[in-house]
Amino acid sequence: MKKPTKKLLTILSALLILTGGFSSCNAGQATETSALPHLQRAKPETLGINVQKLQLADSIIYQSIADGEIPGAVLAVVYRNKMVYLRAIGNKQVYPYIVPMAENTIFDLASVTKPIAGGISAMILVERGKIRLTDRVGLYIPEFTDNIRIVDLLTHTSGLISYPNVNRLREQYGAPAQDELISHIINAERLFAPRAQFRYGCVNTIVLQRVIETVSGQSLCDFVRENISEVLGLNTLVFAPSDELLPRVAPTERLTDGGLLRGVVHDPMARILQGGISANAGLFSDADDLAVLSAALLNGGAWNGNRILSPQGVRIMTSVPQHVSEFGRALGWDVGSAFASNRGDLLSASAFGHTGYTGTSLVIDPELDLVIILLANRVHPYDTGSVVRLRATVANVVAASILNSK
């Protein structure tokens, strides 16, 4: 049997991959946003980094690939506002054929969406005097009659259900069903009284999204694009990537019909009930754009003269509120909860970040002036891999390589 030609493989891929396009929010995104220069590149040794120690991260990722945990990954390390390490390892696609990983591969960020689309957007509205963190949700969604506040949504201490039965809601209401989902959340039994416990859940950011959209008068997609992506010149930080960006997107899970998800959010609630535009999951990005966003947060909310937040906003957003200090959750960001595996063992107490179900991870350490971005695609082609240990060991190796910290 003859080996399939490249043209045949391309046609096969087109038939087997389900692509985005069910939202027009980002139409023309790649050409409308004026890309600003990415972070300056620097050799790690020039900034006091032990290169031999840093390169151990590569071997750890290669071992994870060999163990079948992931098909590949992109690792980016930012130190003192410079990109000192950017590696593409393994493959971004292994079914129906192999495509090597590239440094500019775009990933489904999954729950890394929460602190960016949810957290940063909410803080922008706080800074504009549109909302207060202590405002009751019912001020913006009158059907919420209990004492849940905006800050409770951001810290996952609201008592709301964690995640709905997506298939049941789809059968009952069809798809998408944003209003019906909100109604379901409102009427669902509370897990506990607000601020009494911590329970991580996607529903918190669904409600927060409704508040953001109600107050701003914009879709979340438009708000993020205009107030974050366009300000910082981030061409790949988008919901539902455009046709121009799609070839760079790593596909995620193989579906039961043999197709793949690519450029379509993997999370079922975001994809089915929210139509792909959702604060709990749905953002896509490459490592370069996440590096610029991280640099802006490390620099008091601005980068290259372009500001998304004030220094005070960044400080509050990345600090754990005193009234829920035992839970370790900041406003959208994870500082020290049981979910903060990506911090490893060697980062400072001020480090904050988030992980994503698809295998993505972002951790920012203001004390070390360090950013670690690990974009792995653990759900491709099957949702079976694990990256919990990988994130921690990579973070440890990177942190240990910093021999000249401020």
Element (H, E) at 355: strand 352-355
Helix (H, G, I), strand (E, B), or coil: what is residue 212? Answer: helix
Give Cα separations from 29 to 182, 235, 246 (angstroms).
28, 7, 12
**Angstrom distance (rounded) from CA 49 to CA 90:** 25
- pLDDT of 10 higher than 80: no
Q: Is residue 3 part of a domain?
A: no
Q: Which of 375, 289, 382, 384 is nearest to 108 (CA)?
A: 375
Compute the distance between CA of residue 242 and CA of residue 239 in angstroms, rounded to an integer. Answer: 9
Residue whose pair of structure tokens reads 């891929």 in the numeric block:
13
Residue 181 · residue 199 · CB < 8 Å: no
Could you tell me the sign of the dihedral formed by the alpha carbons of 36, 41, 46, 52, in that order? positive
In a domain, 14, yes or no: no
Parent domain of 269? 33-401
Structurally, the chain folds into a number of domains equal to: 1
So what's the pLDDT on residue 225?
98
> At 308, is the secondary structure helix, strand, or coil?
coil
Mind listing the pLDDT tens digit for each residue in 138-155?
A: 999 999 999 999 999 999
The tens digit of pLDDT for each residue in 175-214 reads 999 999 999 999 999 999 999 999 999 999 999 999 999 9
**Average pLDDT, whole number, for the chain?**
92
- The helix/strand/coil state of 28 is coil
What is the pLDDT at residue 38? 86
| Selection from 282, 242, 292, 289 nearest residue 108 by Cα | 282
In a domain, 257, yes or no: yes
Residue 25 included in any domain: no
| Cα-based distances in Å from 77 to 365, 396, 398 | 11, 13, 8
Are the beta carbons of 354 and 372 closer than 8 angstroms? no
Give 405's pLDDT tier (boundaries 50, 70, 90): low
pLDDT above 80 (res 321):
yes
Q: What is the pLDDT of residue 33?
A: 54
pLDDT digits (tens, 9 = 90+) for 252-300: 999 888 899 999 999 999 999 999 999 999 999 999 999 999 999 999 9
Q: Are 18 and 246 in contact (CB under 8 A)?
A: no
Q: Which residues contact 24 (CB under 8 A, 6 or more apart)?
A: none
Three-class SS of residue 362? strand
- Using a 10 angstrom Cβ sphere, with 0-12 exposed, 13-18 middle and 19 or more buried, the burial of residue 81 is middle
In this prediction, residue 19 has a pLDDT band, given cuts at 50, 70 and 90, of low
Say whether pLDDT at 21 is over 70. Answer: no
In a domain, 12, yes or no: no
Residue 66 has pLDDT above 60, yes or no: yes
Quote the pLDDT of residue 35: 60
Lowest mean pLDDT among 14-23, 40-49, 163-172: 14-23
Q: In the block, which residue shows the tokens 């390892």?
A: 89
Pick the range with the lowest mean pLDDT from 20-29, 93-102, 350-359: 20-29
3-state secondary structure of 261: strand
Report whether 181 contacts 139 (CB < 8 A): no
List the CATH number of the domain containing 238.
3.40.710.10
For residue 118, being part of any structural domain is answered with yes
